[in-house]
Chains A and B, each alone.
Chain A
């Protein structure tokens, strides 16, 4: 059986929770960016991809583009570099969203890893083509760490939807 039936019933998502989770991811990636470690994952990319899979009608390419511009200004990188990789991620999230959730988490991770690698590679290609040097091998780790964050995102970002709707002694769910 490919579908995990226990995941089938979720409460409707709150738009405020989506917005606040994106904001928290933004703040977290700004904080991680300050440490200048190359291998640190881009939490915001994971969050955008996650909502692109689970709520494709609410978080789309326009949101990804605006958040990407914000990251570009904050990182002081080339304007449009993060925007492009987030938009591409968001597009592939949309094209995957009907299929991906039918698989268990481990198989989902195998399927999404290439897209995180692609997003990282896009940023790298843009910078290399504008005359920058390769910053270092540890940066190749970051898409894999982002993939490993996928189950964590599944637990945290779906938690409000999994909460008991009207808990009762006789009716726990």
Chain B
């Protein structure tokens, strides 16, 4: 009998591989490295993009029961309600058509004035419609996932709006989807213009009485701000085009012991519909414009 035919390895009962503590230290170190890399160095970007493409079909599968339910609900929706919706939509179109005619006229006027003053013409914004897939499950931040990604030329930092106003900004782009951080996220800021007074401010996401709102930063306690003031994008950041509606001031607190007023505003974005518009960042528009002869 040849010696090779003897099985010299230990029986599987004793073969346990590395010691559990070694494995624990190895995998914990790897996890902590990934956490650090994800937070500070951004070297995990390709890994996350690859994995997210892998996760996407499963996510789609998980979303289907909910979609089917809502589709069923819509199917059995009352006819009355449908007619009512139609009526309100028609009314809205009428109101908007009045406004859009004014806008046409104002635009021509504005163009003439700009030509008179030899100012740079405002850049037309290119946009594409996208569908909201789901809210990101992570409870620490407020983001949504939309169904347009790198393959549809969504750029990092693109502003995202809906029928009401600005929703937020694209903060992660994957090949097929992208993540939008809402204005009410605490790490998200947007430069705004108070359309009544013309004062420029910067805002941050905040939570007031359990509701996500935005907070105006560094406004002196004596500043002219009233409840109900409309905040629009100021357009000086090179990201958001000027004049998009952002929020309405809903809560002002002036206290003697702080030199700044605490001002909160409620976002105007409806965030109910499933469709949003992804705009190109204005600086990207200008740079492409500059490149073409």
Question: A interface vs B, CB < 8 Å?
Answer: 26-27, 30-31, 33-34, 36, 38, 57, 60-62, 64-65, 68-70, 73-81, 83-84, 87-88, 91, 94-95, 126-127, 130, 132-133, 135-136, 139
Contacts and interface: CB of A to CB of B under 8 A. Distances in A.
Given A34-B66, A36-B137, A61-B20, A73 B31 contact: no
Contacts of A38: 139
B51 interface: yes
A70 B139 contact: no
B192 to A, nearest CB: 23
Interface of B: 16, 20-21, 23-24, 27-28, 30-35, 37-39, 44, 47-48, 51-52, 55, 58-59, 61-63, 65-66, 134-141, 143, 145, 172, 179, 186
Contact of A65 (B21, B27, B136, B139): B27
A27 B23 CA distance: 27
A74 B135 CA distance: 11
A27 B139 CA distance: 18
Given A76-B137, A84-B32, A133-B186, A60 B39 contact: no
Contacts, number: 110
Contacts of A70: 51, 55
Q: Main SS of chain A's interface residues? A: helix
B31 A87 contact: yes
Contacts of A132: 140-141
Contact of A30 (B31, B39, B44, B58): B58
Nearest to A68: B31
B55 A65 contact: no
Contacts of A133: 140, 186
Majority DSSP secondary structure for residues of B touching A? helix
Nearest to A76: B136
A75 B34 CA distance: 15
Contacts of B172: 76
A72 to B, nearest CB: 8
Given A30-B58, A36-B135, A83-B31, A76 B16 contact: no
Nearest to B26: A61
Contacts of B52: 73
Nearest to B44: A79
B105 to A, nearest CB: 45
Contact of B51 (A27, A30, A73): A73
